[in-house]
Amino acid sequence: MKLTKIRDLNRRLFTSTIVILVAAILIAFSPYSWMGLLVASVIAALAGIAVWEYVQLAQAKNFHPNSKLMIIVTVIEVFAFYFAQRHATVPQLPLVILFMSVITFFLAHFRHSYKALVQVAIELFGVCYVAIPLCFMLGILYPYHVDQDGRWWLAYLIIVTKITDVGGYFVGRLWGKKKLAPLLSPKKTVEGAIAGFFCAVLASVFLSKLGNWVEGFNLGLFQSLWLGALIGVLGQIGDLAESLLKRDAFVKDSNSLPGLGGILDMVDSLLLTTPIVYFYVSTL
């Protein structure tokens, strides 16, 4: 099969390479206190942009959530999660901020009650859908248990999730025939979905074997199988979930960034896989 069937491949590869390099540098040097704040700032910026893109989808449906308030809450929530992970004295800070944000969203509509039920629901869902999972990345990077190296766990999450996307993308475009969800994403195929799933499992098993020579990253064979399988499934559901929101808003991409589309397009699969890895690491 010829790669000419894949559009914008060079642009995608170039942009992906830059993103990978930046992410690798941030993760590698994350134990340093100054870099920790930078990592939190980058995640807060990504989350804020992704929330703004989410608001654009809502506005395309003629809803008008308070975007400024949502972005402010998102940024505060990210830093609250960072400080909670780095300082054991404030473990409940993210929950406090989330609870206060619920109150704030209600207060913001006391003067304008038109469609308040929908507007508050959209605002709160946007924060929970985008900000909370991205906050969990900080929970993975800075686990409470000091015997775990969060850098390897975050790398594991990103690699297994994204290799699901890559495997599904190439196999689907080159050999896929049967449509997976034609109403949501016409180019996704069953063959691509199956390939993405097996890529996730194989990558998870491979990284678990690599963990035998890495301190602070202990993932047994059985755990790698079911965790990789979960990521392989939830990553693709996360992709389709965002496609559902975009199709409902009659939007192709969440933004127009070269080689990415939008930040929400870039992190959509991670929004459902990150909590799984976070919960798993928290039990170690």
DSSP strand pairing (179-181 vs 185-189): antiparallel
Q: What is the DSSP string of 43-90?
A: HHHHHHHHHHHHHHHHHHTT----HHHHHHHHHHHHHHHHHHHH-TT-
Place of tokens 């993308």: 169
> Helix crossing, 67-86 with 33-60: angle to 10°?
150
* Whether 141 contacts 207, CB under 8 Å: no
pLDDT score at 8: 62
Q: Kindly list the averaged pLDDT for each block of 10 residues, start to end, along the chain of length 284.
A: 52 80 91 88 96 94 92 96 84 91 92 85 95 94 82 95 90 83 84 94 94 84 95 95 92 75 90 96 87
pLDDT score at 5: 45
Q: Extract the tokens encoding 223.
A: 């755990």
Q: Is 47 exposed, middle or buried (0-12, 13-18, 19+ CB in 10 A)?
A: buried
pLDDT score at 31: 86
| Percent helix / strand / coil, the chain, rounded to 5 | 75, 5, 25
CB atoms within 10 A of CB 216: 15
**CA neighbor of 40 nearest in space, from 137, 171, 167:** 137
pLDDT score at 2: 45
170: CB partners within 8 A, 6+ apart: 6, 192, 195
pLDDT score at 16: 78
- CA 82/CA 101 separation, integer angstroms: 17
- Provide the 3-class DSSP secondary structure of residue 254: coil
- CA 265/CA 239 separation, integer angstroms: 8
Domain residue limits, the chain: 31-142, 149-284
